[in-house]
Structure 1
Amino acid sequence: MGTTRNNGSLYTRIDGKVAHVEFGHPASNSFVFELLQRLTTTINELSENTDVSVILLKSEGEKAFCAGASFDELLAVSTIEESKTFFSGFAHVINAMRTCKKVIVGRVHGKTVGGGVGLAAACDYVYANVEAAIKLSELSIGIAPLVIAPAVERKIGTAALAELSLAATEWKSAYWAQEKSLFSKVYETTAEMDKELDFFIHKLASYNPDALTDWKKVLWEGTDHWNTLLTDRAAITGKLALSDFTRNALSKFKK
């Protein structure tokens, strides 16, 4: 059973050298700003925790993995500054994941939209089940996936990003995501996925932690400018989100 808290939930459990980080929200595990802040803080803290070698990022329940940004909170935003701050939430999470000293493994158990795709892309390795279809729906509501685009493009390339984002109402299958290198492994059942995932994370956690940290730095080389880039992208998205087009589109979605 998932959380009923309107500001979402975030739980961290450390098992051996693996930190299990689980987020949840009653609206299909979407993110309000407070939850994004808490996730950023948690990842930054775990980055400095010498008892942890690997972080497993997952979400509550058995349905959607993550529905992206909270539409309710987005509709409540009224100024450009508020809007920029809201979208900066995803920028800060992705940058925390990028600079984290620990390898981050994602567990994607269901459908994933918008910012959720960005989270998966910011993981270093991703396990998914066959239910984990993905969609970038931003253009259909008048904005664009500007903040998460660098992380997604780094994994799947420009051509696949164009295909995914321009077909804004079309779901892509988990196997499409695996073919494009967003997902590392895809399983037919959640039970099979979890069995293999458990083996993998504990094997990974048995490796030299310094080697894992040094290797992660290499994997993310060339992204130092993202601190500025993603925040700048949040400002552009924030402006788009206040347009009449987006306001009308979000109101229709709510109805």
Structure 2
Amino acid sequence: MNANGSIQTVINNKIAVITFSHPASNSFPSNQLKALTEEINSLSDNDEVTIVVLQSEGTGAFCAGASFDELLAVSDLETGKQFFSGFANVINAMRTCKKIIVGRIHGKAVGGGVGLASACDYAFATETASIKLSEIAIGIGPFVIEPAVSRKMGKSATAEMSLLPTEWKSAQWAFEHKLYAQLFANDAEMDTALDKFTAQLAGYNPEALYEMKKVLWEGTENWGQLLYERAGISGKLVLSDFTREALNAFKKS
């Protein structure tokens, strides 16, 4: 695994599989967020692609969210806003992508990882794919990803996760609250179903799929502004003494 993380895409039979990786539990520093945004935007305009699958490398966590090291390095408001805008950029790229995006969630997702799963149009998961929104515990909040999470799961589920930031919610709970469309006992069963599902989707009319995608995301047109306003909130809070102390404590634990 690349020490700085990587974004790799393989295209086969009109299905593009994006695999992201990072040695720190597949977390996202700014360069990774930028690379993923650019890749999704590129695939959106690729006529050789009908379906996009988003997955992460390995058998551990699906995604641990934001890079703690980079959060600790934030020293001014503009840098903080720019960092959290990275997640805003990815979610907006997924939202406006002309292709249906299918998530493959094989393990735990925290914070921004839950946001990525929520921004998928359809998600497969295994029983190990528990979720947690831990942001309040470190003095910030899931502000940038909240619109995506609430759109998929509802405000009540988002509140339940956000206000219990140290508690894991099971994959079954996430399935019952509509984050995951299908849930499987293990990776092998998930991959068999995922391959069948994406192969079938890839054979449909791309224009019809794109029109369906637009329908699915109706009412989110303001996210181009909203998510960046939310990034500003997080960027301000990450500079607080509470957050600095909490991040350092988390890092030492």
TM-score of the pair, normalised by structure 1: 0.98
Task: Specify the alignment match of 2:66 in structure 1.
Answer: 69
CA deviation after TM superposition for structure 1 residue 77, in Å: 1.1
Check if 1:5 corresponds to 2:7: no
CA deviation after TM superposition for structure 1 residue 50, in Å: 0.6
Task: Specify the alignment match of 1:120 in structure 2.
Answer: 117
Cα RMSD between the aligned structures? 0.5
Check if 1:176 corresponds to 2:143: no
Mapped partners of 1:236, 1:88: distance in 2: 11
Q: 2:184 aligns with which of 187, 205, 229?
A: 187
Q: How does 1:1-255 map to 2 (within 5 A)?
A: 3-6=1-4, 8-255=5-252
SS in structure 2 at match of 1:57: strand
Mapped partners of 1:77, 1:166: distance in 2: 25
Mapped partners of 1:162, 1:78: distance in 2: 29
CA deviation after TM superposition for structure 1 residue 5, in Å: 1.7
SS in structure 2 at match of 1:55: strand
CA deviation after TM superposition for structure 1 residue 164, in Å: 1.0
Listed one character per residue, the Cα deviations across residues 71-117 of structure 1 (whole Å, up to 9, x for unaligned) are: 00110111110000000000000000000000000000000000000
SS in structure 1 at match of 2:16: strand
**Amino acid corresponding to residue 5 of structure 1 in structure 2:** A
Mapped partners of 2:181, 2:22: distance in 1: 26
Listed one character per residue, the Cα deviations across residues 198-251 of structure 1 (whole Å, up to 9, x for unaligned) are: 111111111110000011001101101000000000001000001000000000
Mapped partners of 2:159, 2:13: distance in 1: 41
SS in structure 2 at match of 1:143: coil
SS in structure 1 at match of 2:196: helix
Mapped partners of 1:77, 1:163: distance in 2: 29
SS in structure 2 at match of 1:104: strand
Residues paired across the two proteins, number:
252
Runs of 4+ deviating beyond 6 Å: none
Mapped partners of 2:101, 2:12: distance in 1: 15
Listed one character per residue, the Cα deviations across residues 41-82 of structure 1 (whole Å, up to 9, x for unaligned) are: 000010000110000000000000000000001101111100
Mapped partners of 1:57, 1:156: distance in 2: 19
**Unpaired runs of at least 5, structure 1:** none
CA deviation after TM superposition for structure 1 residue 4, in Å: 3.4
**Amino acid corresponding to residue 118 of structure 1 in structure 2:** G
